[in-house]
Amino acid sequence: MRATQPVLVVEDDVWARLIGVVLDPTTSEERRAAVADFMSPDLPDFCGWCEKIRQAAGPLFPSEVRLVSSAAQLRDNLAKAEAVVTEALTVGVEELALAPHLKAVHKYGMVLRNIDVAACTVRGVKVLGIRRRANMSCAEHAFALMLMLARQVHKLAGLISVAQLAGRGRDYKPFDRRHTPGANWGRFSGTRALNGSTIGIIGLGEIGREIALRAVAFGMTVLYFQRTRLSAADEASLKATYRPLESLLADSDWVIPQLPLDASTLRFLDRERLALMKPGACIVNVSRAEIIDREALLEVLRSGRLGGFALDVQYEEPGRADDELLKFDNVILTPHMAGSPRLNGLKDIAEVIGNLARALAA
């Protein structure tokens, strides 16, 4: 039996906090209750889930979990750390020098660009990662929204009778089935295929890469833009082609802004950049609404130049029933559902804890 509890330093991500909820007995009851309430739509017995993960964690429970939100806080807490869990914070030579007991660095994701893997290897520190299920679900939701816009599912669902057609002010005129197929007997126009179209992803981070992988499976041409271009190997594996932002906007049928929200990305797609998009192109946003200038977005929708728009995380949460975006028939809004169900994130956290337990036991 260990004489002291393991010290885990964890970047304070809203989901990574669960590591403390599960492993650190000093976590406040207020936080435990809040997390249990958050999980309740998909996991009514959150306490039972926590107990199951603790039992599987072996000597990793109990642990002292220190949440940090900056590089300075990370460095200040490394002296006793046996493991670090990071999403965006850098772990390099400087951090390793401050962590004499460190055994593992776990990326809360799979892209290791903020971790000096070579330096960790020299030190004998294991580098771990996880392909997050919640990120995969976000990519799936992006494609659900794209398919709804492309196939006009939000307009056509349930519209299966002549009477319903008449209720929409449309006459039924059958095709001559002696000579033609009977598909689209309602004579609806405007549907499109994803296959053969071009998708432009702004930001190939964890979720952006998941979207790119699925786009290739749909037979789409994948363009991307971000501040730092990927390596040739990464571009080849993702079948993604780098384009300057202006070119990406001009050439894409589908624009996917997949950026974190900060001062540099606020209203990233502004009036000038939206004007660069080809007429009829669509925007699908499962990131943060504020990346797109709302007034500029409304203007381009009113003008009819934008082929469609879909948004998962709204400008206000909860949203408003009188939101002007709801008035457009080529707009789809969903109530922050992309990463759901909660079981995705719970499985991610369980995997991280299991990885750490094995790494620290070795």
Which residues have a catalytic role annotated?
288, 317, 336
Exposed/middle/buried for 104, CB within 10 Å: 0-12, 13-18, 19+? Answer: buried
Q: How far apart are CA 318 and CA 216, in angstroms?
A: 34
Q: How far apart are CA 59 and CA 49, in angstroms?
A: 18
C-alpha gyration radius of the chain: 24
Q: How far apart are CA 46 and CA 36, in angstroms?
A: 6
Q: Hey, what are 341's tokens?
A: 């169900």
- The three-point CA angle 261-262-267 to 5° equals 70
